Amino acid sequence: MIIMRRCFSIFLLLVLTFSCITDKSIEYSPVPDKSVITESVLAPDPFVLSTWVHGSSEFTDSVWRKKILTYDSLGISEILVQAKPDFLTQLIPVANEFDIKVHAWMWTLNQPGNKETQKHPAWYSVNREGKNSLEYRPYVNYYQWLSPFHPDACQYIIDKVKTYCEIEGLASVHLDYVRYVDVILGADLQPKYKIVQNTEMPEYDFGYHPIAREGYKELFGTDPALMQHPELSTEWRQYRLNAVTELVNDIAQVVHGKGIALTAAVFPFPEMSRQMVRQAWDDWNLDAAYPMLYHNFYRQNIKWIGFAAQQGLNDVDFPVHAGLFSPALRDTADLHQAILLAKKKGTAGVCIFTADGMTHDQKSILKKLKGNL
């Protein structure tokens, strides 16, 4: 009897076990065979070395083939080129021979010397003193800013973006100067212009275009130009931030509709950029951001580059490429540390301003790091 009970128990256990295994309602994940895992799954995204590049008025194949060859020798796989569409159209096939991606680096709201926009003074940004950016150029003569509140100015920019979207093989439209005038300059830049900015000074505080003032007054019942302390109004600051954000996201719709990525050169991290230049890049529909982590502008050390990069990464869900200012990294140990620090913090790469201006020793560092990042 005992033997029969034991046999029955074993039989019942087998039946239950078989039933569990064949029950389709139970989900399980088999251990994968490592031999069939694809390389793309195992390999992390490559750390990208890129550089901003100034184009020229005309494309010369021999000149730019030589430059592309130099970039390739440094491990640079992406170049952000400031040039007209025709120039980029000729450059891309040459860059493709070396598997180097080309981005269209485009100045956005700052339009120095633009004869077409200068025909429309009403398009330009206005400061708290009521001065137009075309007539009053803060800091430097090339600061000639359009207003993100003027619909015709915004449409002009969008139409310009569309011309770049027609370029076959373009990696991205790369926006720059997509913000307001610096209301606060970096600490190391203020002595250069013989100013001390320990508060927001009216002549550098822009965004007071008549359209902006009227729209804000309609919404809040107050003319921001008449506020005693407009710098204390979070609503007024956000109102101006939203205008730039709306422009960028309108551009994103155009660019993405053409199957092209949208990237931007931005200030170090969102909170800092909000305060210094009214730029909320964490609200933008970007495919990647290139924060300019120029530590010397702010009298900071190399470790600040890692800190600033981390803040940006914490605030966005798209890739961040750390912008490095090569003239401030002449000490090759600093350059080496900055690149490794950016990688350690989780950035997608570093972008040099500019590789063309690097010393022989700086280029040697890139060559040593090539293939080892």
Is residue 12 in a domain?
Answer: no
Mean pLDDT on 334-362: 98
Mean pLDDT on 231-235: 96
- What band does 247 get if pLDDT is binned at 50, 70 and 90? very high
Domain assignment of residue 118, given as a range: 44-369
Asked whether residue 19 carries a pLDDT value surpassing 70, the answer given is no
Is residue 17 in a domain?
Answer: no
Taking each helix axis as running N to C, give the angle between helix 61-73 and helix 85-96, from 0 to 180 degrees, rounded to the nearest 10: 50
Is residue 5 in a domain?
Answer: no
Provide the residue type at 301 as one letter. Answer: N
Q: Rg of the chain's alpha carbons, rounded to an integer?
A: 27
> Dmax over Cα atoms in the chain, in whole Å?
108
| Helix then strand then coil, % of the chain, to nearest 5 | 50, 15, 35
Q: Name the more confident of 12 and 103.
A: 103
- In the Cβ-directed half-sphere of 341, how many Cα atoms lie within 13 Å? 20
Asked whether residue 261 carries a pLDDT value surpassing 60, the answer given is yes
Is residue 134 in a domain?
Answer: yes
Measured over the CA atoms of residue 260, residue 266, residue 272 and residue 277, the dihedral's sign is negative
Is residue 335 in a domain?
Answer: yes
pLDDT at 45: 81
Write the CATH number for 336: 3.20.20.80
Cis (ω within 30 of 0) for the bond into 354? yes
Is residue 198 in a domain?
Answer: yes
**Phi, psi torsion values for 224, nearest 5 degrees:** -60, -25
pLDDT at 44: 58
List the structure tokens of 150.
């003027």
Our count of domains for the chain comes to 1
Per the CB < 8 A criterion, the answer to whether 169 and 85 are in contact is no
Is residue 37 in a domain?
Answer: no
Asked whether residue 24 carries a pLDDT value surpassing 70, the answer given is no
Is residue 29 in a domain?
Answer: no
pLDDT at 164: 98
pLDDT at 373: 87
What angle (nearest 5°) sits at the alpha carbon of residue 321, between those of residues 276 and 60? 105
State pLDDT tens for residues 156-200.
999 999 999 999 999 999 999 999 999 999 999 999 999 999 999
The C-alpha atoms of residue 134 and residue 122 are separated, in whole angstroms, by 9
State pLDDT tens for residues 31-62.
333 333 233 334 458 999 999 999 999 999 99
Mean pLDDT of the chain: 90
